[in-house]
Amino acid sequence: MNGSRWYAWLPALVFFAAVALLGLTAWELRQAQLEEGRLRARFEELLRVPETLPKRAAPLDPAQLPEVYRELIDRALELGLEVREVNPGIEDGLLIVEGGFQEAYAMLEVVRAMDRPLWVKGIEINRLDDEGRRLSVTYTLGVRIAPPEDGFGSDAAP
């Protein structure tokens, strides 16, 4: 008779296995949320730091803007971001990309590390899915452009 009661433990085993699986899944989800929170805090910290105009590179001739934005597009694609829109402006440029949060954060670092007179003036982040794993990020970029009196295409006598 003892051999026929082994199945009495089966519901309890299934229940405990399900609870353990749910607990593990919840723990993994919580760890992912904590990591995203740390990245978001770092992202916001970087944006709060007042950044002076970049002086590490010479001002750009307006004719060089397409080259700078081509470099930005290439770097975004290398990071795995999808470039949705590029609007190179003389005063404010616009770059809209889609991808994960870590890639968007890495793009901010890429812009800051470029040896160009380029900086991020603002960022707008929109979630594309309910979980926030896919984002649309709009970077408003500033570019230091050389005035005509610096000798770039100026025909005026000194």
Give me the pLDDT at residue 51, please: 56
For 20-47, the pLDDT digits (tens) are: 999 999 999 998 888 878 877 777 776 6
- Over range 93-99, report the average pLDDT: 90
Mean pLDDT taken over the chain: 80
Give me the pLDDT at residue 50, please: 52
Q: What is the pTM of this model?
A: 0.62
Q: In what side-by-side order are the strands of the sheet with 118-127?
A: 82-87, 92-99, 135-143, 118-127
Instruction: State both tokens at 88.
Output: 């190179």
For 111-144, the pLDDT digits (tens) are: 888 888 888 888 888 888 877 678 888 888 888 8
Give me the pLDDT at residue 9, please: 84
pLDDT surpassing 50 at residue 156: no
Residue of 1 and 16 predicted with greater confidence: 16
Residue pair 118/54 in contact by the 8 Å Cβ criterion: yes
**Assigned CATH for 50-148:** 3.30.70.60
Give me the pLDDT at residue 3, please: 58
Rounded to an integer, what distance in angstroms lies between the CA atom of residue 65 and that of residue 143? Answer: 9
Return the DSSP state at 55. -
